[in-house]
Amino acid sequence: MEEPKKALVLYYSRTGNCRAVAQAIGETLQCPMQEIKDLKNRAGFWGFISGMIDIRKKPITEIAPKTVDLSPYDRIYLGSPIWGMRFAPAITTVLNTFDFKSKKVVLFAVATGKFKQAQLEAYGKSLSEKGAQVAGTFVLKTRKKTSAQLLQEAKAVLKTSLIKP
């Protein structure tokens, strides 16, 4: 008998917030997580500055792994921090280069404050146009929250929303 398809959490995180949310999803759904690394050094103050510049001028980057075999999965939870009102370059690169056709995708984002759900839905629309089925979107605000608080908050969102194991 064919194995049932499963979920995968794909995410990028510079300072750990998106990782905490990814972990909440992984623990809730008992599914694997795959972190996407940005090969450009984004650490510290200069990492922040280069992030601000790149997000305007060149919002894509070298990532590792370069690709992920999505064939064992039918649902992908794709998460990014928001940089300059957009997904971070690592996740924009994933969106540009990975094939989400026929996958159910839940998009999630973490932001300190200024980011609108509508913007996330715009990403969803562009994924739908490429053949994905966008099953939901959610944004968590991270200002003054610890990873443990975010993890709990994300688990609460998962309980109340569309996201079914």
Task: Report the residue number, 114 or 159, with the smaller CB distance to ligand FMN.
Answer: 114
The four Cα atoms 21, 15, 88, 86 give a dihedral, to 10 degrees, of: 70
Query: H-helix or E-strand containing 50?
Result: helix 44-57
- The gap between the terminal CA atoms of the chain, to the nearest Å, is 20
Residue 120 found at the interface with ligand FMN (CB under 6 A): no
- What residues between 43 and 102 interact with ligand FMN by CB under 6 A? 48, 51-52, 81-85
Closest C-alpha among 165, 111, 114 to residue 138 = 111
CB of 24 to ligand FMN, least distance (A): 13
The Cα-based distances of 156 to 27, 149, 160 in angstroms read: 12, 11, 7
Whether omega before 65 lies within 30 degrees of 0, making that bond cis, reads yes
CB of 62 to ligand FMN, least distance (A): 17
Q: Which of 110, 127, 132, 157 binds ligand FMN (CB under 6 A)?
A: 110
Q: Which residue has the closest beta carbon to ligand FMN?
A: 51
Residue 9 found at the interface with ligand FMN (CB under 6 A): no
Q: Which of 45, 113, 129, 164 binds ligand FMN (CB under 6 A)?
A: 113
Q: Which of 58, 114, 144, 159 binds ligand FMN (CB under 6 A)?
A: 114
Q: How many residues bind ligand FMN (CB under 6 A)?
A: 22
**In terms of C-beta density within 10 A (0-12 exposed, 13-18 middle, 19 or more buried), how is residue 73 classed?**
buried
Task: Report the residue number, 104 or 155, with the smaller CB distance to ligand FMN.
Answer: 155
Rule CB under 6 A: which residues touch ligand FMN? 13-19, 48, 51-52, 81-85, 110-115, 142
